[in-house]
Amino acid sequence: MKTTRIIGLIFCLLITAAVIPVQIKAQTLKENAALDQKVEKFLADHSERWYDMNIPTADGKTIYDLIIKGNYKSALEIGTSTGHSGIYIAWALSKTGGKLITIDIDEERHKTALENFKKAGLSDYIDSRLADAHQLVKELKGPFDFVFSDADKNWYKNYFMDVDPKLKVGGCFTTHNISERRRMGEGDYLEYVRSLKNYESTLNTAGGGLLITYKRTEK
Ligand SMILES: C[S@@+](CC[C@H](N)C(=O)[O-])C[C@H]1O[C@@H](n2cnc3c(N)ncnc32)[C@H](O)[C@@H]1O
């Protein structure tokens, strides 16, 4: 009888330990129904209007879910374009209490992105920089816990190597337009990142090929 009770008690404790962290994470998400409505309307109104190498909606949703699931707060995007991916990232960060730094070298696209971020109601969550990411990614201090790399493909490996020391353990580095077939520089990048023992990657093919890479340990 006594043994049964002890086993029952241990079982209850294990269940509680598994459930409590999920509840805490859910409770810490900031809900803002008015902002959700504004973002959803903006995305619906613009669903057919992304002409600047922007990510497909499926990838936007995946990125959004990754940030919420990881409770990430300090995000970096390399390659803003006109802001489609930035909107999904910033929307998720508005719930986790985080902020995004996004970089693009093209002035026109940078300007359009600023307008789009404003229209979507997300400007407060975004620090949008007009700069050459080759230089700026090296200079940014971090630390970051979420990265979306979507600029010049032949520089992917360099971006990753520059961010690596500034990416927190448990952080997530995502890279767009990755496929198992080699094309430009992303083939070398894929091989490189898969060779690292402290990172774990999976390729999500729901949209344009999203490599999701988690940092498991520092070295
Ligand atoms: C594929 S688009 C990004 C799409 C964007 N992530 C989206 O889904 O809305 C790539 C962008 O990277 C930018 N880019 C290319 N080389 C760059 C560099 N060296 N520094 C900063 N931005 C760069 C381009 O100007 C372009 O707008």
Tens of pLDDT, residue by residue over 61-119, are 999 999 999 999 999 999 999 999 999 999 999 999 999 999 999 999 999 999 999 99
**Ligand 1 neighbours by CB, cut-off 6 Å:** 53-55, 79, 81-85, 103-106, 109, 132-134, 150-152
What separation in Å is there between the alpha carbon of 97 and the centre of ligand 1? 25
* Mutation choice for ligand 1 from 43, 46, 49, 53, CB with most ligand atoms inside 8 A: 53
Half-sphere exposure of 73 (CA within 13 A, CB side): 9
Atom of ligand 1 nearest to the CA of 55: 8
Atom of ligand 1 nearest to the CA of 155: 19
pLDDT in tens, 136-175: 999 999 999 999 999 999 999 999 999 999 999 999 999 9
Element (H, E) at 137: helix 133-139
Q: Of 30, 15, 188, which Cα lies nearest the Cα of 94?
A: 30
What separation in Å is there between the alpha carbon of 13 and the centre of ligand 1? 49
What separation in Å is there between the alpha carbon of 26 and the centre of ligand 1? 33
pLDDT in tens, 1-52: 455 666 565 555 555 555 444 444 444 899 999 999 999 999 999 998 899 9
- Asked if residue 210 and residue 177 are part of one domain, the reply reads yes
- Asked if residue 17 and residue 57 are part of one domain, the reply reads no
β-bridge partners, 182: none
- Asked if residue 58 and residue 23 are part of one domain, the reply reads no
- Asked if residue 25 and residue 133 are part of one domain, the reply reads no
- Asked if residue 116 and residue 59 are part of one domain, the reply reads yes
d(CA 92, CA 19): 22
pTM over 0.85, yes/no: yes
- Asked if residue 11 and residue 63 are part of one domain, the reply reads no
> If you ran DSSP here, which 8-state letter would residue 54 be given?
P
**Residue nearest ligand 1's atom 26 by CA:** 81
CATH number of the domain bearing residue 121: 3.40.50.150
The number of distinct structural domains making up the chain is 2
The range of the structural domain enclosing residue 12 comes to 1-30
- Asked if residue 46 and residue 15 are part of one domain, the reply reads no
How many C-beta neighbours within 10 Å does residue 136 have? 17
Contact 125, 99 (CB under 8 A): yes
* Mutation choice for ligand 1 from 46, 63, 76, 104, CB with most ligand atoms inside 8 A: 104
d(CA 117, CA 121): 6
- Asked if residue 86 and residue 10 are part of one domain, the reply reads no
pLDDT of residue 188: 87
